[in-house]
Amino acid sequence: MSFVEYGETIKDGDTAIVFLGHESMFPVKVQHGTVTQTKYGVIRHSTDLIGKKYGSKVTCSKGGWVFILHPTPELWTMNLPHRTQILYSTDISIITMMLELKPGSIVCESGTGSGSLSHALIRTVAPTGHLYTVEFHQQRAEKAQEEFREHGVEHLVTVTNQDVCKNGFGVSNIADAVFLDIPSPWEAIGHAKSALKAEGGRICSFSPCIEQVQRTCLAMEEYGFTEINTLEILLRVYNVRTISLQIPDLGKAAEDNSSTGFDSSDPSHQGSPCANLQQGTVQFKSGVPLREVVGHTGYLTFATKS
């Protein structure tokens, strides 16, 4: 199993996603002799998982069933254990595009955090690219390294435990892109410039506060970065629902219906809007935004090394 290469069957030691529904799923490490409890009953790894194909429908001990999915960066972002606040697919998608990443790209990242963005970057630059990720916190760096090894991507990433603002990324003049998600990104702009290739490398800084953005932009200008721009991504989700609206009183609606020979008792007309005239309402499908919408996550500042 690898996050960048699809495997047909579930093996001992794999990380799999147990899918109970669109709003209910969780990761599990497959181990021989282990069981996993769900609201539908027990899943026995030895008999229910190992050797089965990914995507299989597995029946639990209480008679309910779940799907076992192959892990992807998108599914991992939704289910990973949070060690820090993470980036979600909305921001990750624009970051990978604006940094102009592709297979073979060299990327530097700080900080690693829970590895949400890291997995997406690795999948994007695979199979010939590489990610150099720096994490200040030792335990988080060690846990990230362990996860990369378990997920079969350790050959595509180098994890370093150090302060990027003082010691940089440990590489020079090779990166196609640099990403910063640290409290004081302006202190790391000089090291980011040193890590980037001679000309044309891209940089992105993620900050939740506009004051951080202002200081970062000033530092970028000081170090000669160009095409500096800041944006914010907001996601608005719609649900399709049946809406009932009252029919307006147009005066002669009943007379018009009788003049056209409309028979409300005819079964063929029962599904038409006119059939609901006596009730005074009409139903139709409409897109309705959620009552709670995800708001501000952070500002993304992009620039180019000239």
pLDDT tens for residues 86-111?
A: 999 999 999 999 999 999 999 999 99
CA distance 274 to 101: 55
**Residue 151 to residue 75: CA distance in whole angstroms:** 13
Q: How far apart are CA 165 and CA 153, in angstroms?
A: 26
Give me the domains of the chain, ranges plus CATH numbers.
9-71 (3.10.330.20), 75-234+295-305 (3.40.50.150)
* Each residue's pLDDT tens digit, 24-50: 999 999 999 999 999 999 999 999 999
> Which residue, 54, 49, 81, is CA-closest to 147?
81
CA distances from 141 to 30, 135, 160, 257 (A): 23, 5, 7, 74
Please, which residues bridge with residue 113 across strands?
Answer: none
241-276 per-position pLDDT tens digit: 888 888 877 776 555 555 555 454 555 555 554 444
Tell me phi and psi for residue 157, to 5 degrees.
-140, 145
User: Residue positions in the annotated binding site for S-adenosyl-L-methionine?
Assistant: 114-117, 135, 163, 181
Give me the residue label for tokens 């890291």: 118
Q: Per the annotation, where are the binding residues? A: 114-117, 135, 163, 181
Least confident of 19-23, 71-75, 113-117, 294-298: 294-298
**Out of 53-62, 123-132, 162-171, 240-249, least confident range:** 240-249
